[in-house]
Structure 1
């Protein structure tokens, strides 16, 4: 990930060969954003219907659209919706992405083979609503890619995963240095409990 502009009005990033403009007020791309981005490229296939939940600047939707012709990206923040649409056009995948303003799953219809969420800064309300909507929107053999910091309250997230009868494995993980601490980040791959998953973390 390379930051090309530090201007106050917006930030421009090049990540995995896509060019993403992040305006003020939209979730920034960080030095661990490539972890989820790489998992998206590894997981999504040309036959998958993909949902990017809380799309922000649309970076993961744009990456998914390099593989899949059917991507839906949702966000509650109007500025994020506008940014995601602009970035889809900028990267020439606008015809593959439908960007919607949505409070959770409110504007989402149908089921998806892959659902992407960057849950790193998601609060309990957002996560509860997200997991509550999976029954209606995750395809029978669908996969969830969930990115998070391995923080102190991770037990609450793992409880939600178990509560909703999902199997978890690790798609990818990495630690970064923050001050004097090493902070681990992970992308979980979640499937329905009766579906296979490659590597259990239990």
Structure 2
């Protein structure tokens, strides 16, 4: 079975830099054969998501939460969502300020709010923002959960004890809002996030970052390495697909 792979501090908030490269461009770090396979998997997943979305809003139960997911928002896959969800439940302590980047239907922010955290949940998709806010109320944590439309950190103020992000794995160009949940053209969002993460992470804060080898994991590791943050694997899931071992990994990053 083949395996599919793929601290400089300054200023008041100890901003992290990329050794002189504030926004390194994405150059695929995968052989063409693996890129082609990822593309094939992506197309299959996108078509499945479109078919599910055609049925309209649906109820998804995941990690003990009841989540209503509109057709413009990607529903969480329970087995994969549990990897980051377990890490969130471990790190989320009462009274901590939490930022859920790319919240989607709100699952990770709602888990943190359920632990007594004050949560700011952001997404570039307005349908996701509305769904996350409604799901927080549905699961009894609306008073500790604030949802905002934001392009990465554009609407975010202050620093956070815990930042959580499960970004799009693929670097392709999305064809619609639904596909944008899984594709980040040229990893623009990912690059911008790592370039500014230090401005929003409290001195003793933690950053939970979820990524997998069905994306360019080598490039994601390059961004993590250049961020100056210390990286630890806190949870992972391995699955076989088409004779390949696919990894889904939850990382904890800290100063």
The TM-score normalised by the length of structure 1 is 0.87
Of structures 1 and 2, the one with the larger relative CO (CA 8 A, separation 6+) is 2
- Counterpart among 2, 18, 32 of residue 65 in structure 2: 18
Residue aligned with 2:105, SS: coil
The structure where helix makes up a greater share of residues is 2
Structure 1 residue aligned with 2:146: 98
How many residues are treated as equivalent by the alignment? 187
Deviates more, 1:156-165 or 1:175-184: 175-184
Task: Give 1:151 shift.
Answer: 4.2
**5+ long unaligned stretches in structure 1:** 1-5, 193-202
Task: Give 1:101 shift.
Answer: 0.5
Task: Give 1:26 shift.
Answer: 0.7
Task: Give 1:119 shift.
Answer: 2.4
Residue aligned with 1:32, SS: helix
Structure 1 residue aligned with 2:163: 115
Aligned counterparts of 1:10 and 1:179: Cα–Cα separation in 2: 31
Task: Give 1:64 shift.
Answer: 0.6
The TM-score normalised by the length of structure 2 is 0.70
Q: Indicate conservation of the 8 Å contact 1:168/1:190, yes or no.
A: yes
CA-to-partner distance for each residue in 1:152-188, whole Å, 9 max, x for gaps?
Answer: 6222111111211011001100112334433111000
Aligned counterparts of 1:29 and 1:10: Cα–Cα separation in 2: 13
1:46 aligns with 2:94: yes
What is the root-mean-square deviation of aligned Cα atoms in Å? Answer: 1.6
Aligned counterparts of 1:55 and 1:88: Cα–Cα separation in 2: 11
Aligned counterparts of 2:164 and 2:82: Cα–Cα separation in 1: 13
- Pick the structure with greater CA Rg: 2
The structure where strand makes up a greater share of residues is 1
Structure 2 residue aligned with 1:137: 200
- Structure 1 segments, 4+ long, off by >6 Å, are none
1:76 aligns with 2:124: yes
Task: Give 1:63 shift.
Answer: 0.4
Q: Indicate conservation of the 8 Å contact 2:124/2:152, yes or no.
A: yes
Structure 2 residue aligned with 1:127: 190
CA-to-partner distance for each residue in 1:124-147, whole Å, 9 max, x for gaps?
Answer: 111111112212100111111111
- Counterpart among 103, 107, 110 of residue 59 in structure 1: 107
